[in-house]
Structure formats: C-alpha cells, structure tokens
Structure 1
C-alpha cells in the first residue's frame, strides 16, 4: 500500500508540473514550437522545443530528442571515410561476430526456456538470494519480483540496473547502424508507472533497404553489447578490483559476526537493534564464519533445540503455572520444559535468557541441588540475538517467526573504517553490482527470444531472409534485363523462395510464447 501511495504522489507531482507549465505556455503570446502537436490531441505536453519533446499521457512519460542525430551522422561519416577503412573493417568484424554470438544465444535461451525449474524453491529475501538465483549452475526461469522473491526496497536498485543495461543495449544498435549509414530518427527515455526505459528509433525504410546480413548485425548489436558489458563486469570481479577498494575503506567482520546495515521502519526490533550493531550469535549458533549462517539459520523450517539449558530455582519452577504452555493461550510468560523430565512451567523469559553470565547446563547434575535445568519449549519459539558492543555482550529476545527477522533486518559483513562512510554503502554497491550483472545478462538472453516487440523476432526474420535468400524490396534491376522482360522469372523465384518464411517465423514465435508462459508459470509455483 505504501508503494502505491508513493507512486500516486509521484505522478500527481508530474501532472501538476504539466498543468502549470502547459498553462504558462498557453498564456504566452509567442506561437508554440513547430511540431508541438504532432503526437495527437489526447496527449499533454509540459515542455517542447525544436529538438526535444516531453510527452505525458496518464502514467506514461516519454522524452525523445533529435539533438544527437547530428553526432550519429558524424560518426557514420568517420566510419565511412577512407582513412578509417581499417577501423571500419575491424568494427564490422566485431559486430558480425556479435551476430554469430546472438545465434548461439538464441539457441541457449530457448534451451533455458525448455529446461525444468530447479527443485530447490526460491526464498523471499535479499542479495544473497539474488546471487544464488543467477548462479551459472541454475537452470530455468527465476523471477526477481520485488516484495515477493526479493525485498521491496530492492526495487530502485533493480530499476536503475535495468535502465543502465538498456542504455548499453541501445548504444549497440546506434553504433552498428552507423556502419551502414542508417540515420536515427530520435533517441530518448520513457517512464511507465515506475519502470524506466531507453530507446533509439530508426527509419523503417532505411532498415528494410539493407541486406539481411547488415540488418541482422544492427539488430544483434544491442544484445551483443549487453553480453560484452556483462563480460567486463565479470572480469572486474575476477580481478577483485572492487574488493581492494572496499577493504581500503571498510574492514571485514565475518570472523566475529554480522553487521546490521538496514531495518524495516515498522519492525518491532526498532529501538532495540541499532544500525551498526554487531550480531555474534543466534541462540547458541555463532555467526563467526565465512558461511552465511544468518540466512541458513533464520530460513530453516525448524527451530533448532538448544543443546544447553539454564539453571533456575527448582521450587519456583515447579510452582509456576502451566497455562502459557496450552495452545492458543496468550500470556506474558513463556513456556519452558525441563531437560531431564517432561515437566513444564511458565517463566519470565527475560529474567532467564537475557543474562549472558547465567549458568548453562546440560542436565540437572550441572546445577545446584536447589536448581533445575530448563530450556524454552518448542511450542514457544524464542530467538536470542547476542549483540557485541565495546567488547561487551548483551542479549535481545525475539518471540515469533524467525522468517520475520530475516525479512526485516538486513545484515552485512563490513564495517566502515571512517566515521563519514555510511554503513549501507558497501552492501548497496555490492547489491547494485549483482543486479547490474543480472540485468545486462538477462537483457542479452531475453531480447533474443523470438517474441513480438523484442529484438529476437526481427533477428529471426533477418536470419530467415538470409536462409531463403529473400531480397529486399529496394534491390536494383538491370536495365537490359528489364528491356528483355526477364524480371518475371526473378519475381517468381523470389516468391517461391520466400513463401515459407512467414509460416516458419509465425510458428517459431507462437511456440516460443507458449514455452515462455509455461516456464514462467512453473517458476512462480516454485516460490515460497
């Protein structure tokens, strides 16, 4: 609900700005810029110029400009110039290689669509889950849904990563088009509800006039750029450049525990667990390990029974009520069970579990004659979080599902070396880096699916044109051949070669759509 209110407030501000700026323009005595109403009467404009238009239509905002067209034309001239012939051949070879790589990618993504979903269900949590979700060994479609499979506060990071990946994608189309002197009509960005997007548009006639190989090169350049960008990100990871910079500003505390770097505003732990707190234990499980015991412990379906209990006064325990141990009974006390017998009693958990100096026991023999060894009953799950501050340990108790702690508290393993550095910087940067790798690789694969409005459908069409040798409608004809009336045969051959293109293309598109929808549904049923 809070996200809906934020979205409504954002679009209210945008429409209010549109109203006042549009009103100012209508009151101006100057005529509106040329082309201000070229997109229809139903859409509203809050800023226009000769090169740039910002179009607002309900929950859709579109900014498009032709200001970069001249730069793109200059790039085409540089590539076509004779001194740059060697450069042109190298770049052409590079993007031709991209076409081949995209053919392999198309086969790979269809294989992933056919692959069964993993048997391990997806968890509803953060960055550690994201890294596991996009691991190379996983197969099938794994949806990343903010608020469902990943935390809702990851949404801005995901949108930013996808938007940057789209810019890299569109630059690929623009650079490849410059090789064949295909001009761009406009470039820009759009914003629909909360999703940003980038785009570059070309004249349809210019693309259709190209040979199939050149057309496939331009279409494949976008996904190919995403793959190259992903490779660079992986190379930076392998070189550990980010780790070196991180260790100069942060120091790792995984040998001690986990640092609290974020918390939901409505969490019951607010005021008890401060940001920057160092959690060393969950119950008796130490977090001092390079393994992610925080995730494994809090997402375990069963709360581990403590191996050790606490020594309490025997007479007070035996005389305590047992009403809190009954199902569906609300009580300020917590249910405890004896370690060496089946006796149960209701005690104040804070008095028993919070004192870190309290004597622990494995049986009654470890306690004094007047004491008895007890521990929290399985019917009353209580989580003990041990916090270390200035060399001293203290215990915070949590009563309730462990999954809520996992969903409400975000932890990391790095503390800043300097006070001016924020706690969240390292974790957020690492999170963004993970989503950026995921987004750019996903755009490479997803755009190669032969589905409507994706590069894959146009790429398959270009490949079919090459396979069936279907020539464009802009081919040059020999005048002598025309005089000899020999073009009738040529037209007949073209129709015969191309008559199977449309059925094959439509069949591939429909089959891919069915497989993709089926895989997505199977992946959604695998989420818990």
Structure 2
C-alpha cells in the first residue's frame, strides 16, 4: 500500500507544469498530424512506416491497372526526401495518352482507389473483431470490461515508479472501470471530466466527531490554493444536515484499497454510529484515487494497492499510456498491442488522407490527369472526338515516341481553362483547410 500522495512537482512561479494533452480528432474534420503536439513524438517512426505502406499500396495500384490496360512499366522505385519516404512508378506517356479516356481515368485514379480500398478493408476488419482474434491467439487477455493495463509512464511524471508496467488500473475513485459497452471509454471519460457521483453512490468515511472538530480549517479557507504553499492536508466536509469542514490527512482514508475495520465507508452520518460523523472530500479538492492490481510476475508487492494523485486528473490521461490487452506471460511485451494498434490507426488515417489529397484536380497530382481524361470522356460522350490518338501517331512519325504534339483546337482551349480553374481553386481550398486544421489543433 502506498503511504504518500503522488503530486505534480512545481516548475516556476506560475504553478503547475502540465504535459500536452492530445486532442480528440473526432470533433473536427481537418486536423494536423504534428509529432509531439497532436501525436506523441515516440510515434514518429510509426507514422513514417505507415506512410511507406500507403505509398507502396498507392503505386502498386497504378502498376496493376497499367498492366491490365496493357501499358508497359518503365521503372519503379522509392526515394527519401529529408525524412519523408516516397515511391513511384514510371509509365510511357505515349502509350498512356493513346488509351481511351476511360482507360486513362482508371490508371490515374487507381492509386487513390487502392488507398481507399485499404481503408475500407481495415475498417471492416476492425468492426469484425479481427484484433480480438489476433491478440487472443497471441496469449493476451482482454481487460476492456474491467480495467486498463499500464504500458508506460513518462519518466518526468510523479507517477513514474508508482505505477508498474503491466499493472492493471481497475478503479478511479469510487468508479470501477466496469462496462459491457466496448464503445464507452471510461478511462478517458473519468479522467477528462470531474464525474459527479449520485447521492446513492457518493461514499464518505466515518470519522470520530471529537477528532474531526479538533482539526485545523486553514486549508479549507484558502480562496485559491497555489502550488507554492499547498499543504499535505485536504479539505473534508461533513454530510447534511450537520455541515462542517476541516483539514484532514487524506492518506488514511484514500489509500485503503478495500473497506476495513478502521476505515468505514458511509453515505450518511447514520451509517457511522454514535459519536461519529460521515465526511467526504470537498468537490474542489484535486485528489484522485487509482486502485491498482499488480500481477505476480510484474511486482513482488501486494496484489492490490491504491495510488493517490494530487493535481489535475487530465495529467494522468496525458502521462500514463494504457491498453486493454494484458499479456498472460511475462515474456510477452506489454506495449506490443498499443504499438500495433497505433500503427494500424495511422495507416487508416493516412490512407484516407492520401485518397482525398491525390484526387485533388491539381496538375502534379493524380487528380490532374483524371480531370483531363474526364473532360475528354465528356466530349466523346456528347458526340465529339478526342485528338489524343492522332497526336500520338504524329509524334511517332516524327521519331519521338515519348512525346505528344498537341494541335490547337477550341476543345483544348476550354479544357486548359477548366484545368487552370480547378488547379488554383483546389490549391486555395487545400491551403485554407490546412490552416484551419493547424489553428483548431493548436488552439
């Protein structure tokens, strides 16, 4: 049993030094992926690996569709610009332009289509419970219905050394992490907001009345408790109708993992007996109790203990990495399910992002050739004709099989205007979306 309160160390005269709390991405449609700000800096290798996977899937789509359209593959490869990887395939322009508009549309959009297909496959697999089959087969136990497995604690956190890797947090204050709804994340919910208990569930502690009234009241009278002179005491209040408040040492009451003979829980003074009153922490006291179950192979200490945290509960959420999969054997890495889950999440996120990004009607992206082929398709569907094949034949007669000579035509003029309009409009809209994402993320 831990007999001290773990609290945030001071850093300068401004009080608490908080760690960045990564925002939820489900509230805004556009957000920036910034390692160390919106995602942990330790996930940067996972982001690079996810980008490599999506790049190869993208280029594989182009190569496969080109083969189906009987367009030869000139070359393929990968490159590294600074720290950002990229893959490419090279197709002969003459053979590509000689295709009908539908064929050119298929080749230009096939890379983005394969990114979208990858996103759909991963989402279907997730909804089908493929992760449960995988980790159960690898001898991991699912703890999502009753606790969270500690897979890492920041070294700068006061909780480092008090929460062992592999231990399972089963309760936050008086709220067990029990749920049959897998879509509800009680861990994030309880640490992101101050959850007010109902009168039936709000338990206090029985204290001798004579002992309670003898305690000081100084900590309860501070209008703004600053970190510079925070006392090791906490403000306790009695239940109605005999309302009163005093400063008590919280550890004898908060650090007991289960009700015992010397610490009795209560909902009212009538539960405590003669000479005792029922008291509880005042609502503004930043004390959080974490009930921790430590497996035998993870520690030599007691199986169940309580860690008392003093400070904003959101810091626990930011500084403690948890998982819902616990290894059944000590040889299995505790962090593996978290890393694999994060990697798959980044692959999904980047695959959908690359799909929309590459299909922008910009000349240097896949959306540019797709728009060009779509315009030719519309012209041919309306009874016109495309001069692509004539251009290719003329270039071949001049001995330049890799180039195309475009004849000026009214159709080419309006198509160029259309492409320029879409090109600049897409760049402006994309820039505004990026700016909005950065502002919303950092704001």
Settle same-fold status: TM greater than 0.5. yes
State whether structure 2 residue 175 is matched by structure 1 residue 285: yes
The 3 A distance-change label for structure 1 pair 140 and 330 is closer
Distance of aligned partners of 1:411 and 1:239 in 2 relative to their CA distance in 1, 3 Å threshold: same
The structure 2 residue matched to 1:475, chosen from 373, 392, 412, is 392
Question: How far 1:294 sits from its partner (Å)?
Answer: 0.5
Q: Distance in 2 between matches of 1:239 and 1:373?
A: 49
Matched, 1:386 2:278: no
How high is the TM-score relative to the length of structure 2?
0.77
Which residue of 2 is the match for residue 369 of structure 1? Answer: 274
Quote the residue 1:226 is aligned against: 115
* CA displacement, residues 481-507 of structure 1 (integer Å, 9 cap, x when unaligned): xxxxxxxxx95xx51111111221121
Aligned to 2:392, what secondary structure does the other structure show? coil
- Structure 2: gaps (5+ residues): 1-19, 296-301, 380-384, 395-405
CA-to-aligned-CA distance 1:146-200 (integer Å, 9 cap, x gap) = 33333333332222112101111011222333444344345212142x4332233
Determine the C-alpha separation between the residues in 1 that align with 2:360 and 2:51. Answer: 18
Structure 1 residue aligned with 2:324: 413
1:259 aligns with 2:149: yes
Aligned with residue 443 of structure 1, among 350, 354, 372: 354
In 1, are the aligned partners of 2:115 and 2:351 still within 8 Å (CA)? yes
Q: 1:322 to 1:196 in 2, by over 3 A?
A: farther
Q: Name the CA distance, whole Å, in 2 between partners of 1:474 and 1:163.
A: 37
**CA shift for structure 1 position 216:** 2.8
Q: Choose from 66, 88, 95 the match for 1:199.
A: 88
Query: Deviation per CA, 1:243-265, whole angstroms, max 9, x where unpaired?
Result: 22321211222343221122222
Query: How far, CA to CA, are the matches of 1:190 and 1:510 in structure 2?
Result: 28
Deviations 1:396-419 (CA, angstroms, capped at 9, x unpaired): 101111111011112222212233
1:188 to 75, 78, 86: 78
Structure 1 pair 151–339 and aligned structure 2 pair: CA distance change class (3 A): farther
Contact kept in structure 2, 1:146 and 1:154, CA below 8 Å: yes
For residues 320-345 of structure 1, give each alpha carbon's deviation from its aligned partner in whole angstroms, at most 9, with x where no partner exists. 22222302342222222222344222
My pick for the range that moved more, 211-220 or 432-441, is 211-220
How has the CA–CA distance of structure 1 residues 318 and 201 changed in structure 2, closer, same or farther, with 3 Å as cutoff?
farther
Counterpart of 1:338 in structure 2 is 238
What's the secondary structure of 1:279's corresponding residue? strand
Instruction: Report how far residue 208 of structure 1 moved.
Output: 5.0
Q: Report whether the alignment pairs 1:398 with 2:398.
A: no
Is 1:350 aligned with 2:251? yes
- Spell out, residue by residue over 1:34-65, the C-alpha distance to the aligned partner (whole angstroms, 9 max, x if none): xxxxxxxxxxxxxxxxxxxxxxxxxxxxxxxx
Note if 1:434 corresponds to 2:345. Answer: yes
Alignment partner, residue 14 of structure 2: none
Matched, 1:497 2:411: yes
| 1:147 matched to 2:36 | yes
2:166·2:294 contact (CA, 8 Å) conserved in 1? no
Contact 1:470-1:498 at 8 Å conserved across structures: no
Aligned-residue offset at 1:277: 0.9
Per the normalisation by structure 1, the TM-score is: 0.65
C-alpha separation in 2, matches of 1:434 and 1:146: 15
How many angstroms apart in 1 are the aligned matches of 2:156 and 2:393? 70
Provide the rounded CA distance (Å) in 1 between the counterparts of 2:266 and 2:233: 22
Question: Counterpart of 1:514?
Answer: 428
Which residues of structure 1 form unaligned runs of 5+?
1-122, 478-489
Choose between structure 1 and 2 for higher RCO, CA contacts under 8 A separated by at least 6 residues: 2
Change over 3 Å in CA distance of 1:423–1:450 after alignment to 2: same
Q: In 1, are the aligned partners of 2:21 and 2:317 still within 8 Å (CA)?
A: no
Q: 1:236: Cα distance to partner? A: 3.7
Would the aligned equivalents of 2:147 and 2:169 in 1 still touch at CA under 8 Å? yes
